[in-house]
Structure 1
Amino acid sequence: MKLATLNALVAAIEEGSLRGAARRVGVSQPALTKMIRELELELAAPLLMRTSRGVQPTAQGKVLYERSVKANRELRAAVEEINQMDGRLIGELHLGAVPLAVMLLIPETLRTFGRDFPHIRLRVSEELYVAQLHKLRSGEVDVTVGGVPDDLSTGEFFVEPLMNTVMVPTVRRGSPWLKAKCLADLQTARWVYTGANSESGYAKLFFERHQLQPPAIGAVVNSTLALLSLVCSGDYVALMPVQIARLPIVAAFIDVIELAEGGYPLEVGAILRSDSVPSPVLRHLLTHLHRAAHQLSQGRAPDLGLGHNLA
């Protein structure tokens, strides 16, 4: 089984057509078709289904595709790590971040890391916590940054603590919910959850911490921009890091509800797979994350980096 043949299959599945795959791989369409046919004969299994709209993977094709993508990723990582060991700091890092981390740490980390390592392409994916762990398990991301849950598997993951924060309840300026004095006063409010559904998210944990029934879901978001937009423009309540809520650019539109319970304390950390050895560049990235966290601990407000390209 040749790597070039596997790459032809990957291209066909991702492009959805043999013509597009041939163009991407740099061979003629008949040559690419022959490569995939040889692979099917070698495995004695169909890998692609031809349709009027292109090609789709069979069940067997999906299995080989997923393994091939992972193998390619591991080979690229090995080449990059060898270059880095020889002092050639080039390559790519994929950083997963939940909305909390994007708001707090990522802008400053991107600024300083990009300045010190201009030849390292740093990709940032903002998604929900569950999706980030899945990507970390599969090797799609090198590290995930976010709140550290109590039920995180220590046998599977390693946590590099970065900082502690407090998630505080926030609303739009002038909201009637600002009159609330305790958490129980907010049980009938429409809350924004940063989770997959009403069974997840810090809002639910905050209420349960004080032996209260979690409020009904008002909206579910999985991005920083969506969270800020909903709170600014609607009559929603949402938890966000106190460092973000106090920023002048945010405080112009959002107020913190001063409750007797305060807020929900949270440890923020970098999460890595326990079975992985951080590459030299990944270790440098962790150093820059610690630097950004230290700035926040000293009271220096984060730059939200609205002009940065995170892709």
Structure 2
Amino acid sequence: MNDLLRKGMKINHLRLAAALMADGKLTDAAHTLGIAQPAASRLASEIEAIIDAPFYRREGRGIALTAEGRALAIRADRILNEIGDAGREIDELRRGLTGTVALGAVTGPAIDLVLPVVRHARIDMPDAQIEIEVATSDHLRDMVLDRRLDFAIARLPDDASASQFDYMPIGIEPMSIIARRDHPLLRAKTPIGIERLLGYDWVMPPSGAILRQTVERSLRDLGHAPPARVLNTSSFLLTLAAVGQSNAIAPIASAVAQIFGADGQIKTLETTMNLAVDEFGILTRAGAHLTPTADRVRDLVNDMIKRNKTA
């Protein structure tokens, strides 16, 4: 890097490299930077002179970075984001624990961990703004890598991309099967056997969702086929509505079942199935340095985890 700086590499060169990697067109990259296309072309020529290699090649109606260009662009994007984070951190240090923290969580931990943490944060950091994203692990992981989230409570990928994250395991996510309060199964002998459960419609997320995979794997391990009649939906509200207005049953996070069962409209079925989704934990970008406010919120999450374990 010192050699590139000595040769004249400047912030505008890094900004163009990052913009070209994101936009794929010189005109779009120029627009992103707020400069004319000739100025962008001139910066690209300067980059090629500095790295002593082709920066990009024309491909169809756009451009494709060369191997050397992409190597520069990846690091340029990282450098620019670090500079942005530094500005955000300096601003927070100047104003105290204020600013915005963006965190994500899968459904169960969002209820068990994030909501209590937000209540504590309101007292601990009254001027901080906390944004919460509740989604599936794959979506949350993408948001962490794209820097749209400071950190997430989600599952670590089981492939090579796991190296992109720093990870602190928390535990498994217990699941329950719910039904409406006057469902026929609630009059059955407990625990309810799988054969009786499979006699009803099920409401589950689409194929490939981890909750559905967990249910189908558990049934398969016990020698049963998946439910024959399934309403597929990723909408939690539609799941609750379908369960509340029919004889359908649904697997959901136990923490959620407890919350929505508090008014007695939804009941948790006592069954012979022992459901739990794979381990989840706290995910941050590998090597990321959180701002003081985000770091404090993560500390509050860790405190809540320890409190729950000793309760």
CA distance in 2, matches of 1:296, 1:214: 36
Inter-partner Cα distance in structure 1 for 2:119 and 2:59: 46
Deviation of the 1:14 alpha carbon: 4.7
Cross-structure match for 2:6: none
Are 1:44 and 2:54 an aligned pair? yes
Match of 2:33 among 11, 18, 25: 25
In 2: Cα distance, 1:5 partner to 1:145 partner: 36
Match of 1:190 in 2: 202
Verify: 1:228 aligned to 2:237, yes or no.
yes
1:4 partner amino acid: N
Asked if structure 2 preserves the Cα contact closer than 8 Å seen for 1:171 and 1:238, the reply is yes
**Structure 1 match to 2:16:** 8
- Normalised by the size of structure 2, how large is the TM-score? 0.64
Rate the CA distance shift 1:59–1:231 in 2: closer, same or farther, 3 A.
farther
The answer to whether the 8 A contact 2:48-2:55 is kept is yes
Distance apart, 1:106 and its partner CA: 3.0
For 2:135, the aligned partner's letter is E
Amino acid of the structure 1 residue aligned with 2:103: L
61, 64, 71: which is aligned to 1:58?
64
**Among candidates 237, 242, 254, match of residue 242 of structure 1:** 254
User: Partner residue of 1:284?
Assistant: 296
CA contact (8 A) 1:84 1:280 kept: yes
Deviation at 1:169, TM superposition (A): 0.6
Amino acid at match of 1:185: R
The offset of 1:263, in angstroms, is 5.1
Equivalent AA in structure 2 for residue 144 of structure 1: A
Q: Percentage identity across aligned positions?
A: 18
Distance 1:39 1:278, change over 3 A: closer
Larger helix fraction of residues = 2
Alignment of 1:157-306 (within 5 A): 157-159=166-168, 161=170, 166-172=174-180, 181-187=192-198, 189-193=201-205, 196-197=208-209, 201-204=213-216, 206-207=218-219, 211-213=222-224, 215-216=226-227, 218=230, 226-233=235-242, 236-247=248-259, 254-261=266-273, 264=276, 269-272=281-284, 280-290=292-302
- Stretch deviating more after TM superposition (77-86 or 121-130): 77-86
Cα deviation for residue 232 of structure 1 reads 1.9
Residue 58 of structure 1: SS of its match in structure 2?
Answer: strand
Which residue of 77, 84, 104 maps to 1:69?
A: 77
CA RMSD of aligned residues (A): 4.9
How big is the shift at 1:10? 3.6
What amino acid does structure 2 have at the position aligned with 1:211? L
**C-alpha separation between the residues in 2 aligned to 1:274 and 1:6?**
21
* Residue equivalent to 1:309: none
**Partner SS, residue 174 of structure 2:** strand
Residues 157-181 of structure 1: CA deviation (Å, up to 9, x unaligned): 54253x8763211245655665671
Per-residue Cα deviation, 1:113-160 (whole angstroms, up to 9, x for no partner): 366446655444443224544665787644321468999x89x75425
The AA in structure 2 aligned to 1:241 is A
Deviation readout 1:66-105 (Å, 9 max, x if unpaired): 4433332233334545666778445554423223333443
The 5-angstrom pairing of residues 72-83 of structure 1 reads 72-81=80-89
CA distance in 1, matches of 2:57, 2:233: 37
TM normalised by structure 1 equals 0.64
Q: Go from structure 1 to structure 2 and tell me whether the alpha carbon gap of 1:147 and 1:11 turns closer, same or farther (over 3 Å shift).
A: closer
Aligned residues: 290
Name the counterpart of 1:302.
Answer: none
Secondary structure in 2 matching 1:145: strand
